[in-house]
Amino acid sequence: MTTTHRTDGAAAEHLGTLHDRLVARAQADGLLDVTYRVVDSPVGRLLVAAGESGVLRVAFEVQGHADALADLAARVSPRVLEGGSRLDPVLRELDEYFTGARRAFDVPVDLRLTKGFRRAVVAALPQVGYGATASYAQVAAATGRPTAVRAVGTACALNPVPVLVPCHRVVRSDGTPGRYAGGEHAKRLLLDLERTTRPLATGARQA
Protein backbone atom coordinates (compact mmCIF):
# COMPACT_ATOMS: atom_id res chain seq x y z
CA MET A 1 0.00 0.00 0.00
CA THR A 2 2.83 2.39 0.86
CA THR A 3 4.53 1.62 -2.45
CA THR A 4 1.32 2.45 -4.30
CA HIS A 5 1.05 5.82 -2.57
CA ARG A 6 4.66 6.60 -3.45
CA THR A 7 4.06 5.60 -7.05
CA ASP A 8 0.93 7.75 -7.25
CA GLY A 9 2.81 10.65 -5.74
CA ALA A 10 5.67 10.27 -8.19
CA ALA A 11 3.22 10.09 -11.10
CA ALA A 12 1.44 13.23 -9.94
CA GLU A 13 4.75 15.06 -9.60
CA HIS A 14 5.77 13.92 -13.08
CA LEU A 15 2.50 15.12 -14.57
CA GLY A 16 2.91 18.43 -12.79
CA THR A 17 6.39 18.83 -14.26
CA LEU A 18 5.11 18.02 -17.75
CA HIS A 19 2.30 20.54 -17.33
CA ASP A 20 4.72 23.26 -16.24
CA ARG A 21 6.87 22.55 -19.29
CA LEU A 22 3.82 22.71 -21.54
CA VAL A 23 2.80 26.08 -20.12
CA ALA A 24 6.33 27.46 -20.41
CA ARG A 25 6.63 26.25 -24.01
CA ALA A 26 3.23 27.66 -24.96
CA GLN A 27 4.13 31.03 -23.44
CA ALA A 28 7.52 31.07 -25.18
CA ASP A 29 5.88 30.26 -28.53
CA GLY A 30 3.24 32.97 -28.08
CA LEU A 31 0.45 30.39 -27.84
CA LEU A 32 -0.64 31.16 -24.28
CA ASP A 33 -3.10 34.03 -24.23
CA VAL A 34 -4.38 33.62 -20.66
CA THR A 35 -2.79 31.90 -17.69
CA TYR A 36 -4.38 31.48 -14.28
CA ARG A 37 -3.89 30.11 -10.81
CA VAL A 38 -6.21 29.56 -7.86
CA VAL A 39 -4.64 30.58 -4.54
CA ASP A 40 -5.66 30.74 -0.89
CA SER A 41 -6.12 34.15 0.74
CA PRO A 42 -7.72 35.65 3.86
CA VAL A 43 -10.85 36.33 1.78
CA GLY A 44 -11.06 32.79 0.45
CA ARG A 45 -9.70 31.11 -2.65
CA LEU A 46 -8.99 33.57 -5.44
CA LEU A 47 -8.68 32.86 -9.13
CA VAL A 48 -6.09 35.20 -10.65
CA ALA A 49 -5.74 35.32 -14.44
CA ALA A 50 -3.46 37.38 -16.65
CA GLY A 51 -2.67 37.96 -20.30
CA GLU A 52 0.40 39.48 -21.88
CA SER A 53 -0.76 43.03 -21.07
CA GLY A 54 -1.60 42.50 -17.41
CA VAL A 55 -4.00 40.96 -14.91
CA LEU A 56 -7.39 40.35 -16.50
CA ARG A 57 -9.39 38.79 -13.72
CA VAL A 58 -9.50 38.26 -9.98
CA ALA A 59 -12.49 36.13 -9.02
CA PHE A 60 -13.76 35.13 -5.59
CA GLU A 61 -14.87 31.56 -5.05
CA VAL A 62 -18.47 32.72 -4.48
CA GLN A 63 -18.46 34.14 -8.01
CA GLY A 64 -17.64 30.73 -9.48
CA HIS A 65 -14.15 30.08 -10.76
CA ALA A 66 -15.41 27.88 -13.57
CA ASP A 67 -17.74 30.67 -14.71
CA ALA A 68 -14.86 33.16 -14.64
CA LEU A 69 -12.69 30.87 -16.77
CA ALA A 70 -15.53 30.30 -19.23
CA ASP A 71 -16.00 34.06 -19.52
CA LEU A 72 -12.29 34.55 -20.18
CA ALA A 73 -12.32 31.86 -22.84
CA ALA A 74 -15.33 33.46 -24.55
CA ARG A 75 -14.30 37.11 -24.31
CA VAL A 76 -10.50 37.00 -24.45
CA SER A 77 -9.23 33.70 -25.88
CA PRO A 78 -9.89 29.96 -25.61
CA ARG A 79 -6.15 29.45 -25.11
CA VAL A 80 -6.26 29.38 -21.31
CA LEU A 81 -3.90 27.30 -19.19
CA GLU A 82 -3.23 26.96 -15.48
CA GLY A 83 0.21 27.78 -14.12
CA GLY A 84 3.25 29.47 -15.58
CA SER A 85 5.52 32.23 -14.31
CA ARG A 86 3.48 35.14 -15.65
CA LEU A 87 1.46 35.33 -12.43
CA ASP A 88 4.43 35.28 -10.04
CA PRO A 89 4.61 39.10 -9.63
CA VAL A 90 0.91 39.60 -8.89
CA LEU A 91 0.76 36.68 -6.48
CA ARG A 92 3.78 38.04 -4.64
CA GLU A 93 2.17 41.49 -4.39
CA LEU A 94 -1.11 39.98 -3.15
CA ASP A 95 0.80 38.13 -0.42
CA GLU A 96 2.47 41.39 0.58
CA TYR A 97 -0.85 43.21 0.63
CA PHE A 98 -2.56 40.63 2.82
CA THR A 99 0.32 40.70 5.31
CA GLY A 100 0.20 44.50 5.49
CA ALA A 101 3.54 45.01 3.75
CA ARG A 102 2.06 46.62 0.61
CA ARG A 103 -0.44 49.44 0.17
CA ALA A 104 -0.51 49.82 -3.60
CA PHE A 105 -0.12 47.39 -6.48
CA ASP A 106 2.50 47.87 -9.18
CA VAL A 107 1.51 45.05 -11.52
CA PRO A 108 -0.29 46.15 -14.71
CA VAL A 109 -3.98 45.38 -15.10
CA ASP A 110 -5.81 44.83 -18.37
CA LEU A 111 -9.31 46.33 -18.20
CA ARG A 112 -10.60 44.99 -21.50
CA LEU A 113 -13.38 43.09 -19.69
CA THR A 114 -15.09 46.35 -18.72
CA LYS A 115 -16.34 49.04 -21.09
CA GLY A 116 -17.80 52.53 -21.22
CA PHE A 117 -18.87 54.19 -17.99
CA ARG A 118 -18.12 51.06 -15.97
CA ARG A 119 -14.53 51.19 -17.15
CA ALA A 120 -14.32 54.87 -16.23
CA VAL A 121 -15.48 54.00 -12.71
CA VAL A 122 -13.00 51.15 -12.35
CA ALA A 123 -10.18 53.37 -13.64
CA ALA A 124 -11.07 55.99 -11.01
CA LEU A 125 -11.12 53.62 -8.03
CA PRO A 126 -7.35 53.69 -7.31
CA GLN A 127 -7.81 57.38 -6.41
CA VAL A 128 -9.43 56.16 -3.18
CA GLY A 129 -6.32 55.60 -1.10
CA TYR A 130 -5.34 52.76 1.18
CA GLY A 131 -7.27 52.86 4.45
CA ALA A 132 -9.72 55.46 3.09
CA THR A 133 -13.24 55.11 1.76
CA ALA A 134 -15.48 57.03 -0.64
CA SER A 135 -19.23 56.86 -1.10
CA TYR A 136 -20.85 55.72 -4.32
CA ALA A 137 -22.04 59.31 -4.75
CA GLN A 138 -18.51 60.67 -4.39
CA VAL A 139 -17.19 58.25 -7.01
CA ALA A 140 -20.05 59.19 -9.33
CA ALA A 141 -19.13 62.87 -8.94
CA ALA A 142 -15.46 62.10 -9.57
CA THR A 143 -16.35 60.48 -12.91
CA GLY A 144 -18.37 63.53 -13.98
CA ARG A 145 -21.79 61.90 -13.59
CA PRO A 146 -23.00 62.81 -10.09
CA THR A 147 -26.45 61.29 -10.61
CA ALA A 148 -25.10 57.89 -11.70
CA VAL A 149 -24.86 56.48 -8.19
CA ARG A 150 -26.57 53.20 -9.02
CA ALA A 151 -24.41 52.75 -12.11
CA VAL A 152 -21.32 53.19 -9.94
CA GLY A 153 -22.58 50.38 -7.72
CA THR A 154 -23.01 48.14 -10.75
CA ALA A 155 -19.53 49.01 -12.01
CA CYS A 156 -18.03 48.12 -8.64
CA ALA A 157 -19.95 44.84 -8.53
CA LEU A 158 -18.65 43.94 -11.99
CA ASN A 159 -15.08 45.13 -11.44
CA PRO A 160 -13.00 42.37 -13.09
CA VAL A 161 -9.98 42.89 -10.85
CA PRO A 162 -11.18 43.41 -7.26
CA VAL A 163 -8.56 43.81 -4.53
CA LEU A 164 -6.06 45.04 -7.12
CA VAL A 165 -8.49 47.80 -8.08
CA PRO A 166 -10.06 48.71 -4.73
CA CYS A 167 -13.84 48.65 -5.20
CA HIS A 168 -14.01 47.47 -1.56
CA ARG A 169 -13.22 51.07 -0.53
CA VAL A 170 -16.50 52.33 -1.98
CA VAL A 171 -19.19 52.35 0.70
CA ARG A 172 -22.68 53.65 1.32
CA SER A 173 -23.26 57.29 2.20
CA ASP A 174 -23.95 56.33 5.83
CA GLY A 175 -20.52 54.67 6.06
CA THR A 176 -21.75 51.07 6.11
CA PRO A 177 -19.84 48.76 3.74
CA GLY A 178 -22.65 47.76 1.42
CA ARG A 179 -22.62 44.83 -0.95
CA TYR A 180 -19.52 43.28 -2.49
CA ALA A 181 -18.80 40.68 -5.16
CA GLY A 182 -16.79 38.62 -2.69
CA GLY A 183 -19.46 38.88 -0.01
CA GLU A 184 -19.95 41.39 2.80
CA HIS A 185 -17.60 39.47 5.10
CA ALA A 186 -14.76 39.78 2.56
CA LYS A 187 -15.40 43.51 2.18
CA ARG A 188 -15.31 44.08 5.92
CA LEU A 189 -12.13 42.03 6.21
CA LEU A 190 -10.36 44.11 3.54
CA LEU A 191 -11.50 47.40 5.10
CA ASP A 192 -10.44 46.25 8.57
CA LEU A 193 -7.07 45.07 7.23
CA GLU A 194 -6.34 48.51 5.81
CA ARG A 195 -7.60 50.40 8.84
CA THR A 196 -5.56 48.42 11.33
CA THR A 197 -2.29 47.99 9.43
CA ARG A 198 0.63 49.62 11.19
CA PRO A 199 2.83 52.16 9.39
CA LEU A 200 5.13 50.51 6.90
CA ALA A 201 8.82 50.11 7.50
CA THR A 202 11.21 52.23 5.46
CA GLY A 203 11.44 50.92 1.91
CA ALA A 204 8.07 49.16 1.93
CA ARG A 205 5.63 49.92 -0.88
CA GLN A 206 3.21 52.72 -0.08
CA ALA A 207 0.32 54.26 -1.97
Select from 200, 191, 114 the least CA-distant residue to 157: 114
Distance CA 173, CA 171 (A): 7
DSSP string of 88-157, one letter each residue: HHHHHHHHHHHTTSBSS--S-B--TT--HHHHHHHHHGGGS-TT--EEHHHHHHHTT-TT-HHHHHHHHH
Using only the alpha carbons of the chain, give its radius of gyration: 19
Distance CA 77, CA 33 (A): 6
How far is CA 143 from its chain centroid?
Answer: 22
Which residues are known to be catalytic? 167
Distance CA 26, CA 37 (A): 16
Three-state DSSP class for residue 3: helix
Distance CA 68, CA 74 (A): 10
